[in-house]
Structure 1
Amino acid sequence: MSMAKKTFLGSLMKAEYLLKDTVVQPEQLESTRHKEIMRRMVELNRAGMNVDLLHLTTLPDLESLGGMSYLSELLSYADLEKFDGTEKLILELWKEREKRNILTVAAMNDWEIAKVIGELDKINQMKMEDHTSLQQALSNIYEAPWEDQLHLKSVTTGIKKLDEVTGGFQSGEVTIVGARPSMGKTDVMLHFAKMSGWAGFLPLVFSLEMPERLITSRLIASTGGFNRAKMRDPKRMLNESQKNKWSDVIGDLNETHMQIFDGSGQTIAEMRAKTRKLMSQFPHKKPILFIDYLTLIHSGQFYGGNSHLQVTEISKSLKTIAKDFDCPVICLAQLNRSVESRANKRPMMSDIRESGSVEQDADVILFLYREAYYDKDAEDHSLEIIVSKNRNGPVGTIAVKYNEHTGAIEERKEQSLTSI
């Protein structure tokens, strides 16, 4: 084993251009002596001097590095053909050591599982296999003129006017959808999710409150235009034409490739792991994450019951996920009761304020409001989507049609953005 390390260091001495190319850091070598030798090489290289045997022998602490004889021995192991292999091996061994260190520290300090996963995740992201020959790259793109493009820059929200205003859901951006209970948050989320799926994205739905059964039944109801109440007993309650439509609805929903995770106490680290796993299963689709909802996400730390700090940590982590996976993240947020005490119950920015730094961290903030929920005699059954923060465009309100019996959302023909 030590042979690989000697080959590695010897090769650096022999062909110093490798010093600039290697991804291995001195700290990642195991023995103190090897760490020191590599550090000296890096220093010489930075100072613009040659990293050869001659320059290394002029080091003041040559003896502690094993003297002239050890350095010559290293040089004799140089093998440029084997360099890549040894480099990979050194990184693998380093990952193993790091993993053991993390587990030891975690056991001593009784870390939460989420933190352990997060730390292990970091080591795993050290990327070695990022090389593609142009031949490979060209064969990957060979069929492009005849293939549907899956990688759109932004995902459609399925509501034209909202797309125009926000530019759709952008990769690397976090959208918060805030509302009071019963405003249609989950229906709006499922509308966004299936629309993005049909547009070729991979919708991952993290439902921390509603079980998968309910989500599936809601998707069928809104897609087929079935009254939700009938979903309790489709055999008895659906009429013939609805039953004939059933398999088409299921066929259509199948095409979304939606993935549902309905564990109640999911943490950010778990969501990351699940996202990474699905990205490897669907390499040609870009993921889009939907989380229902913000304050149900389990935080990695206990902040002594300080929910403000907890939500801040979580909203920062959502932004990190969006950036790291270069995908859009849409997270629902339950707004507090203060809304109910106002004459005008349309939500506004201050209703989200005590939720840590959510307001700063989000790129887009949408609020939902239905007049008909508060005023039972209201003629208007529309759902207002209030664009309250929009990094890339104007703010204002967009009204869509909302069928509270089926959960379906449709846009109105004549669409305009009314200013808030």
Structure 2
Amino acid sequence: MSHPEKVFLGSLMKEQYLIKDTVIQPEHLESTRHQELMRRMVEFNRAGKSIDLVHLTTLPNLESYGGMSYLSELLSYAEVEKFDQTEQLILEQWKEREKRNILTLASLNDWEIERVIAQLDKINQLKMEDHTSITQALANIYEAPWEDLFTFKNVTSGIKKLDEMTGGFQDGEVTIIAARPSMGKTDVMLHFAKVAGWAGFLPLVFSLEMPERLLTTRLIASTGGFNRIKMRDPKRMLNQSQKNKWSDVLSDLDETQMQIFDGAGQTVAEMRAKTRKLMHQYPYKKPIIFIDYLTLIHTSEFYGGNTHLQVTEISKSLKTMAKDFHCPVVCLAQLNRSVESRANKRPMMSDIRESGSVEQDADVILFLFRESYYDKETDNHSLEIIVSKNRNGPVGTIRVKYNEHTGGIEDQKETSLPST
């Protein structure tokens, strides 16, 4: 591809939706003329103006961009089906230029080697390819019961089943699942993702904290009913009947067609780009997007470190993403420590960090609570799902059976309790 920047800008002019979804920033482009042009496109888009040829010819200093003839030339380069490759190429070329700049700076200013490495690492972390399909993830782990020890960190957590109160996940809606650590957020999310996959949806899991390998072992443990600790060394720890069950469990999970993206610090624009790509790959499946978790999403601006503004931007863009892709978005959230200091530790709306905008933008808010986590003596070993906001239905508490050893979730006979 001899002119990736021309292909890129031409494609943006041809298919306007791409500008919302691209991970490329103007400063990633090499030509200053292209940088300026992309900045104008972004401004037009923010102002709700179209960025096609006709609208771009209204640019006040059109000649400085090469005039109408250059814009027409760009449009003739458009290749929307190669858009993802083009982005990749531009990013790679930008990385190479950045690395050269760093090395020049380093030699001029006599940097310590540690500083050089840290700066180079920062650039390398920018990646589009953090995607593992469940098929690949399971292929990677297929031999585990017959292989020697892998090292896994032991993380305990819990999960829950979706039910009638909300009518399931709706297109264009955002569901927030919020809890303190160890209540079972990730397990709940993985449970939803599996169930959605088996029902024929395409579950896209953006895991900003936990690596793919750990999610895959959790999926296997909860599906096979294996104690999670055994997954540290399946060859030694799984018994014969569990080993006999292993390939069935994996093939059941493979049917979910789950897609896992485990890059840290992704932005909503990056998630949109990856979602769009997968929607082209699986045209007959409706995506359902899971994000673990809210405050780990990177924002487009730093806002001087103001978390409130960052969370507001994230929660607005999640809602826009759900609407634009016409699919459900499920996002996990951490709760403040304030819960811990109360006698009744059941979470409330004000426990969500920077809760204002989240409370406003979300369609459904679920809190998770396990009494047995706080009170070791209690007989109540269920996981409570507290529906505290529900745009299309009642609020209240549902109890499910949660196995903290396997991460498995099952319905309990009693379906719901009145609100407490």
Shorter chain as denominator, the TM-score bin is: 0.5 to 0.7
Structure-2 residue corresponding to 1:308: 308
How big is the shift at 1:355?
3.5
Q: Does residue 55 of structure 2 align to residue 28 of structure 1?
A: yes
How big is the shift at 1:350?
1.1
| 8 Å CA contact retained: 2:382, 2:402 | yes
CA distance in 2, matches of 1:355, 1:93: 47
How big is the shift at 1:93?
5.0
How big is the shift at 1:229?
0.4
CA distance in 1, matches of 2:308, 2:275: 26
CA distance in 2, matches of 1:409, 1:25: 50
Structure-2 residue corresponding to 1:255: 255
Structure-2 residue corresponding to 1:54: none
CA distance in 1, matches of 2:267, 2:259: 17
Please show how residues 206-245 of structure 1 align to structure 2 within 5 Å. Answer: 206-245=206-245
Change in Cα spacing, 1:320 to 1:24, as seen in structure 2 (3 Å) is: closer
CA distance in 2, matches of 1:312, 1:207: 20
How big is the shift at 1:92?
3.1
Q: Does residue 192 of structure 2 align to residue 192 of structure 1?
A: yes
- Deviations 1:14-69, CA, capped at 9 Å, x for gaps: xxxxxxxxx9978337499xx9xxxxxxxxxxxxxxxxxxxxxxxxxxxxxxxxxx
Change in Cα spacing, 1:354 to 1:225, as seen in structure 2 (3 Å) is: same
- Deviations 1:159-203, CA, capped at 9 Å, x for gaps: 4xx431101000000000000000000000000000000000000
Q: Which letter maps to 1:174?
A: V
Q: Does residue 96 of structure 2 align to residue 92 of structure 1?
A: no
Q: Aligned with 1:405: secondary structure?
A: coil
CA distance in 2, matches of 1:330, 1:266: 16
Q: Aligned with 1:270: secondary structure?
A: helix
| 8 Å CA contact retained: 2:335, 2:353 | no
Please show how residues 11-410 of structure 1 align to structure 2 within 5 Å. Answer: 27-28=54-55, 30=57, 92-93=75-76, 159=161, 162-352=162-352, 354-410=354-410
Of the two, which has the highest radius of gyration?
1
How big is the shift at 1:380?
1.7
Q: Which letter maps to 2:221?
A: A
CA distance in 2, matches of 1:357, 1:414: 34
User: Would you identify which runs of 4 or more consecutive aligned residues in structure 1 move more than 4 Å?
Assistant: 23-26, 29-32, 93-96
Q: Which letter maps to 1:354?
A: E
| 8 Å CA contact retained: 2:166, 2:392 | yes
How big is the shift at 1:221?
0.2
| 8 Å CA contact retained: 1:28, 1:94 | no
Change in Cα spacing, 1:240 to 1:350, as seen in structure 2 (3 Å) is: same
Q: Aligned with 2:405: secondary structure?
A: coil
| 8 Å CA contact retained: 1:226, 1:406 | yes
How big is the shift at 1:356?
4.7
| 8 Å CA contact retained: 1:29, 1:90 | no
Q: Aligned with 1:357: secondary structure?
A: helix
How big is the shift at 1:249?
0.2
Change in Cα spacing, 1:312 to 1:24, as seen in structure 2 (3 Å) is: closer
Structure-2 residue corresponding to 1:153: none
Q: Aligned with 2:241: secondary structure?
A: helix
CA distance in 2, matches of 1:29, 1:291: 36
CA distance in 2, matches of 1:296, 1:261: 14
| 8 Å CA contact retained: 2:206, 2:291 | yes
Change in Cα spacing, 1:354 to 1:230, as seen in structure 2 (3 Å) is: same
Change in Cα spacing, 1:394 to 1:31, as seen in structure 2 (3 Å) is: closer
| 8 Å CA contact retained: 2:363, 2:390 | yes
State how many pairs are aligned: 289
| 8 Å CA contact retained: 1:181, 1:334 | yes
Change in Cα spacing, 1:26 to 1:246, as seen in structure 2 (3 Å) is: closer
Specify every segment of 5 or more residues in structure 1 that has no aligned partner in the other structure, as ranges: 1-22, 36-88, 108-112, 114-156
| 8 Å CA contact retained: 1:226, 1:242 | yes
| 8 Å CA contact retained: 1:30, 1:94 | no
How big is the shift at 1:353?
5.9
CA distance in 2, matches of 1:29, 1:299: 28
CA distance in 1, matches of 2:184, 2:250: 22
| 8 Å CA contact retained: 2:197, 2:203 | yes
CA distance in 2, matches of 1:167, 1:91: 47
| 8 Å CA contact retained: 1:397, 1:417 | yes
CA distance in 2, matches of 1:289, 1:27: 35
Q: Aligned with 1:365: secondary structure?
A: strand
| 8 Å CA contact retained: 2:181, 2:334 | yes
| 8 Å CA contact retained: 1:266, 1:298 | yes
| 8 Å CA contact retained: 2:372, 2:378 | yes
Q: Which letter maps to 2:338?
A: S
CA distance in 2, matches of 1:226, 1:399: 22
How big is the shift at 1:364?
0.2
CA distance in 2, matches of 1:396, 1:404: 23
CA distance in 2, matches of 1:388, 1:29: 47
| 8 Å CA contact retained: 1:28, 1:90 | no
CA distance in 2, matches of 1:350, 1:279: 36
| 8 Å CA contact retained: 2:307, 2:354 | no
